[in-house]
Amino acid sequence: MAEYITPPNHFGFKAKKVWGESIKGELLDCAIAHIEPLGGGPKPMHQHPDHSHLFIVTEGVATIYQDGQKVTVKQEEAIYVDGSTLHSIWNEGDSRLTMLGITIGHQ
């Protein structure tokens, strides 16, 4: 079983992969992340043209910065983030944020 890690340039952020097999080159992996209040990342924002993300919030509220916009994603909501746009994820609330991140490869 994978261990929780803190990805580079992330703060108050622990994540682990819970699945990681490619399905016809489209779904690359799935990870769960627990983000403490005021935590998130990366800082500075990043982009990756080879894959995108589907983020699903299971607890708390996520603030997603992407393409010059700030988007709030609440519990039991999801957002698709195009990897080619600059983006980062933050917990601007006062309670823990838990979310699933599904990585989607581009063909």
pLDDT digits (tens, 9 = 90+) for 96-107: 999 999 999 886
Closest CA to 14 of 71, 99, 92: 99
Question: What distance in Å separates the CA atoms of residue 100 and residue 107, rounded to the nearest whole number?
Answer: 22
Closest CA to 91 of 3, 14, 5, 4: 14
Confidence of residue 21 (pLDDT cuts 50, 70, 90): low
Mean pLDDT confidence for 45-55: 94
Mean pLDDT confidence for 10-37: 82
pLDDT at 19 exceeding the cut of 80 = no
- Integer distance in angstroms from the first to the last C-alpha of the chain? 29
pLDDT at 22 exceeding the cut of 70 = no
Residue with tokens 């993300």: 53
Mean pLDDT (the chain, rounded):
91
> The tokens of 40 are what?
């998130």
Reported pTM? 0.81
Mean pLDDT confidence for 15-41: 83
So what's the pLDDT on residue 58? Answer: 97
pLDDT at 23 exceeding the cut of 70 = no
